[in-house]
Amino acid sequence: MPNNLAILLLGSNIEREKNIRRALDFLQQNTQVLRQSTVWETEAVGSSGPNFLNVAVEISTALETLAIKSELVQPIEQQLGRVRTANKNAPRTIDVDLIVFNSQVLDEGLWKKAFMALPIAELLPSLPHPENALPLCDIAIQLKSSAFAEPFEIN
């Protein structure tokens, strides 16, 4: 069965290091992790909450997009106590988003938000923007210049 390549973006701003580690452990145990980006510390977007840690993970899986959400994303979020509120920008223990599936960008925020672009650009630097064909690595550098984003070492 052919494997799909997917990029997941993990983010946390509640007990950040512990929850990022736990989410990465879950993925290691439940799917084939090929690569992961540097962990980035970025400011919260849309709220004045604490800074986030974000990391992109490339997985190889037989699962399709809906199954990735039901068999990987939701179990991680439930296991780590993610509470969804009316405020989609509220602080959270973990947020797992499927951003790229077989080179198809599923979340257009990738081209506009440093917290998404920087970690994913490490894994897919030459991914072309759909309108201007600029590579993601160039867009990430532009976005970093106008946002707080620094590499972060998890102990």
Contact by Cβ (8 Å): 59, 34:
yes
pLDDT single digits (tens) 79-97 = 998 877 777 777 889 999 9
CA proximity to 15, closest of 52, 43, 61, 45: 52
Q: What is the pTM of this model?
A: 0.93
Distance between CA atoms of residues 99 and 116, nearest Å: 9
Segment 103-129, tens digit of pLDDT: 999 999 999 999 999 999 999 999 999
| Residue 2 pLDDT grade (very low, low, confident, very high; cuts 50, 70, 90) | low
pLDDT of residue 108: 96
pLDDT at site 155: 74
d(CA 58, CA 54): 14
Domains recognised in the chain with CATH numbers: 4-108 (3.30.70.560)
Question: Shortest CA distance to 11 belongs to which of 77, 79, 86, 109?
Answer: 77
